[in-house]
Structure formats: C-alpha cells, structure tokens
A and B are shown apart, each in its own frame.
Chain A
Amino acid sequence: MRAAGAGPELAALLEAGGPSGPAAWGRRTLAQAAIELRLTLRQGENLLVTVVIPIVLLVFFAGSRIATGGRGRAIDFLLPGILTLAVMSTGMVSLGIATGYQRAYGVLKRLGGSPLGPPGLLVGKGLSVLAIEVVQVMGLGLVAALGYGWRAHGAWPLALVVLAVGATTFAALGLLLASGLRAEVTLGAANGLYLLFLVLGGVVLPVSHLPGFIQPLARVLPATALSQGLRAALGPAGRVAPEDWALLAVWLAGSVGLAVRRFRWE
C-alpha cells in the first residue's frame, strides 16, 4: 500500500560511496570562502559600497581641491583615505550586516554544527573578505596610478602591513556589531559608523580641517588611525610614528578581543 516513492532511492543513494569522513579542513574552508564571496557579490548593495562608492569618491575628490586645502597633490592624500574607506566597507559594513542577518536566519548555527565548524566558518568569511579587499586595493591603486599619476613614495610593504591591521580591526568591528545587535540594528549601525568615519576619519577631509571641538574625538577613531598610518607609510618618510602604531594596536586588540569574547552563533 505504501508508495515505493522516493524512500528506497534515497536509501540506495546513501549506501553508495566509500567510508565516510569529513573533507580536509582546507577544502571545507575554501568551499565556504567561495560561497561567501559569491553570495556577497550577488548582492548589488555590496558591490555599490565596496567598489563603486570608493572609486567614485576617489575620482570626485581627486578632481577637486577640497581635500588637501590646496597643499600637496590631492591623490597622495586621497588614496590612503579611500583605501581606509574600502576595507571599512568590506569588513565592517558588508561583513557585519551579512553576518548579522545570517545569525538571525540560523545560518551561523547550522554551519557551525556541520563539519565546517565555527573556525572554518570564520576563516572562510575572512578569506572572502580578503579576496574582495585585494581587488579593491588593486583597483584603487590602478585608478590612482593611471588616472592621476600616483606613485608610492614611501614603503609600500609597510603600508600593506598597516592595511592588514586596519582591515582586521574593521572586520572584527563588523562581527562585534553582528553579535551584539539585532540584524536590522546592525545594518543601521554599520552604515551610520561608515558615514561617521567617512567624515571624521581623515578619509576625504584632513582631521586638522575639522571643527576644533570634534578634533580630539576624530583623532582617536580607528579610521583615522588607519588613514594616517597609511599616509605616513606611503609618504616620503616611509615610516609610521609610534603613537600611530599604538592607536592601531589598541583598536586591533580591542576589537578582536571583544569580537572573540562576544561572538554569538545564534
């Protein structure tokens, strides 16, 4: 009486194959990184915030004299700022918002309970973020070099280290937002911070041009730490001042430490 239906087919399907086991860690993690990347790029708003907006801002401000107040070449000031904006948009905005919603939808929980496991999920997300950031840095560097004759004066390997520290900080901030807030609030908060850092973080406007009362706050923001660190590394001196390193390190340790302790899977 019971229909043969799908049951026996399924049972046979599950019998087939050799001894079971988890795939190698790298394979699981790369599979996760690939799908995270694909899903991120599938959403138009992510492309807008990570690729389109930074390039538009770079081109717009490079053609004006607002940013530097007429001193020096605009592109030398702007590129470090826009690189800061780029890793901020990928780590804090895009990763933070996506993770917040994935937590709400139970995706983190389900993947954490799969052979991928929590570490594989986090590393997979990290690799996906890294891939986007590599493209951002190369893209912005190319636009600056080809369009505005930008050349690195200082130490670009040092700049990459600074950028990596900043990128990790912003990714941790994104995960922290996603853990502490509801998904909808994370969305608002991440975009709010993005705007705040854009204006106050030495991204397109020098902090010294801001109103005096706001400068003490602006100088200690993570975006300021990163944009000034990058400017110093890429500048003629090619070195980062100890106090800038200290600020970068405090933000890195604080954000990563808190994210590790506060991260929630559900």
Chain B
Amino acid sequence: MAPAGAGGEAAPAAIALDGVGRRFGRTLALEQVTLRVAAGECLALLGPNGAGKTTLVECCEGYQRPDAGRIRVLGLDPIADAGRLRWRVGIMLQQGGLYPQIRVAELVHLFARFYRTPAAPDRLLDAIGLAPRRGARVKQLSGGERQRLSLALALVGRPALLFLDEPTSGMDPAARRTTFELVQALHRRGTTILLSTHDLGEAERLADRIAILHHGRLLAVDEPQALSHLGAADRLQVETAAAVDLRRLPRLPGAGAASADGPTRFSLETTDPAATLAALTAWLRDEKVACRSVRAGSATLEEVFLQLTGEATAPAERRAPARTFA
C-alpha cells in the first residue's frame, strides 16, 4: 500500500518498491522495504552510514538486483528494462564515475552524444558553475567540482527522474548552496528526485517527504513537518519567578509529563499547546506564582531521527504511529 501523503496514490508512482530485500552474505542490507515516490516528488532517504541508502538507490538504478520484492521505476523493471529506462533517468553516483584524464567539457559532450536531444553541454556547464573549469582534467578538480560535474552528467539527458546519492558530500558551503538551488529548481520543474543523505538539514530543506532508513528497514516516511511532530510531542518550556512544586501540578488539558529543568524552570509535553498553556496560566495565577516566560517548541527533526533510530535498536519500545510505516 502506498503511504499516505504527497499524492502517493493519486498518480502512478515514479518509483514503487514492494517488499524489497537485499542481502550481502549474512547481512541484511534492505529488509521488506515498501515505498512510493510520486511523479514530481522529491523524496529524501535519510539514515546514518550503513543504513542501506546506497543499496536502495542502486537497486532502483538497476546496479543491484534485489533478493526479494519488486521494483518499478517509471513503470519499468530497472534490470530487465534497462535499455528503455537508462535514457529517462539521471544518475549521480555517491563517488567516482569520471575518467581522471578526461577534460570537463569532453566528458559532458560525450554524455550528450548518448541522447537524441540533450541539454546544450556548454550552457549546462555554465548553469552548473563549471564553465571556468571546462578545460580542466577531472583529476585536477576538487571534490566539490567533481560532484557538480557528476550532477551535470546526470542532467545532460534532461531526465524525468533523478537519482542523487549523497550529492553534496565533499562540497564546501558555497557549492552546497548552489547545489541546493539547482535541485530545488529541478524539483520545481517537475523532475522526480530520489536523494539520499545523512544530513538532516539537507533532507528537511529539499524534500517533500523524508524516508528514514536504519539497518535496512524503513522506519518512517512522511513530510518533514509531520515527522517532527511524530517522535516527541510539542513542548512548553516555562520559567517562573519562584519555585514551583510540580507534584502539585494538576492534570491539564492536552498535557503529558512534566519535568523540572531547574528550581524555577520546567517543561511540559503537550498535544494541544494552546489549551495546555491557558490552563497552566490559570493554575500559576491560583498558585500566586508569576510566570516569567513560556516558550513553545516542537521536537526538531534531529530529535525524531535519533529517537526513531534509537528505537530501532530496541524494537520493543517502538511506538511511532502505524501510518508512517511503509
């Protein structure tokens, strides 16, 4: 079943994985992964190193054959239909893939000749910021420049679908920013993008939805905002003028556990911040304690990520809602 959100059911999925498993010897690299990426969607695969991100991406690219399950990319089998698929997808490997001796422009022109109507190589180099380096050999490029060249090769065929495996690794902040802009522009253009990253900020910024992968299992798939509501409830952080005895705190509407952060500070989990705050203010007034400040905040994606991946190592404690599990 397609997961909820981002039109996963409306249009035929650009990428569909059903119960995909992949094993290396005794290690399970992917286990029962079911996932949909809608046409035009940008989905980030998020997980620590060794989570199975590259294995998943390479199964979709046709580089690896899954041991279990089924994959369809643009409705085609990545291995059996490779010939009909290769010109429609753009691939950016995690690293490598470039002749060290070749010049930048030569390589882009070479790839352009593989397509009937490629993007103009020289303008592509311009757009991607490599024009000043067009005569340089690949071996003379910095890590970030190589990544950008790799992106240019992925784009020269004007693909409908883009696989980006850790596209910004090795880039300096300026190159990263440019790459973000390029990916965002491609996304706005309607290119479907499957992006893997271990960088939360990157996933949050670029993706419509984030799929959290850990030890080869998909832990959660949802929009970044929804995910950040998922793990931890919203929280009120309260600072008072005088000490408060939390044991006297009554059960407030929407409120969960309260914890003391100091003599005059405590935080309160809540599923309904407005109602909890109103009741809390009333109670503090009755207790004759002045309230210095209240800050409301939701869990960061990072907290959710750590919580989910932490839970994954102790499955008994898993408590994320079922709808987010693919």
Q: Do A and B come from one complex?
A: yes
Chain A residues engaging chain B, CB cutoff 8 angstroms: 2-3, 5-11, 13-23, 27-28, 31-32, 35, 38-39, 42-43, 101-102, 105-107, 109-110, 113-117, 266
**Could you write out 10 A-B pairs with CB less than 8 Å apart?**
A2-B184, A6-B128, A8-B185, A10-B155, A10-B186, A105-B96, A105-B100, A106-B93, A113-B91, A114-B111
- Is B274 an interface position by the 8 A CB rule? no
CB B291 to nearest CB in A, in angstroms, measures 35
| Cβ–Cβ < 8 Å partners of A3 in chain B | 181
| Cβ–Cβ < 8 Å partners of B124 in chain A | 10, 13
The docked-state distance in angstroms from the alpha carbon of A20 to that of B84 is 12
| Cβ–Cβ < 8 Å partners of B97 in chain A | 105-107, 109-110
- Is B83 an interface position by the 8 A CB rule? yes
The docked-state distance in angstroms from the alpha carbon of A10 to that of B183 is 10
- Is B287 an interface position by the 8 A CB rule? no
The residue in chain A whose Cβ has the minimal distance to the Cβ of B106 is: A35
The docked-state distance in angstroms from the alpha carbon of A26 to that of B36 is 36
The residue in chain A whose Cβ has the minimal distance to the Cβ of B152 is: A10
Contact at A13–B119, with CB atoms within 8 Å? yes
- Is B283 an interface position by the 8 A CB rule? no
CB B180 to nearest CB in A, in angstroms, measures 9
Contact at A31–B98, with CB atoms within 8 Å? no
Contact at A11–B91, with CB atoms within 8 Å? no
A6 and B182 contact, Cβ closer than 8 Å, known pairs A11-B188, A17-B158: yes
Tally of A-B residue pairs with Cβ under 8 A? 136
- Interface size of B by CB at 8 A reads 48
| Cβ–Cβ < 8 Å partners of A11 in chain B | 185-186, 188-189
Partner of B189, one of A14, A102, A106, A113: A14
Contact at A13–B61, with CB atoms within 8 Å? no
Partner of B186, one of A14, A23, A110, A115: A14
Chain B residues engaging chain A, CB cutoff 8 angstroms: 61-63, 82-83, 86-88, 91, 93, 95-102, 106, 110-111, 113-120, 123-124, 126-129, 153, 155, 157-158, 178, 181-182, 184-186, 188-189, 191
* Max chain B Cβ within 10 angstroms of own Cβ: one of A23, A38, A101: A23
Contact at A105–B119, with CB atoms within 8 Å? no
CB B96 to nearest CB in A, in angstroms, measures 3
CB A207 to nearest CB in B, in angstroms, measures 38
Contact at B96–A32, with CB atoms within 8 Å? no
Contact at A22–B185, with CB atoms within 8 Å? no
Contact at B185–A110, with CB atoms within 8 Å? no
The residue in chain A whose Cβ has the minimal distance to the Cβ of B101 is: A39
Contact at A39–B99, with CB atoms within 8 Å? yes
The residue in chain A whose Cβ has the minimal distance to the Cβ of B184 is: A7
Q: Which 4 A-B pairs have the closest CB atoms?
A: A106-B96, A7-B185, A110-B97, A31-B113
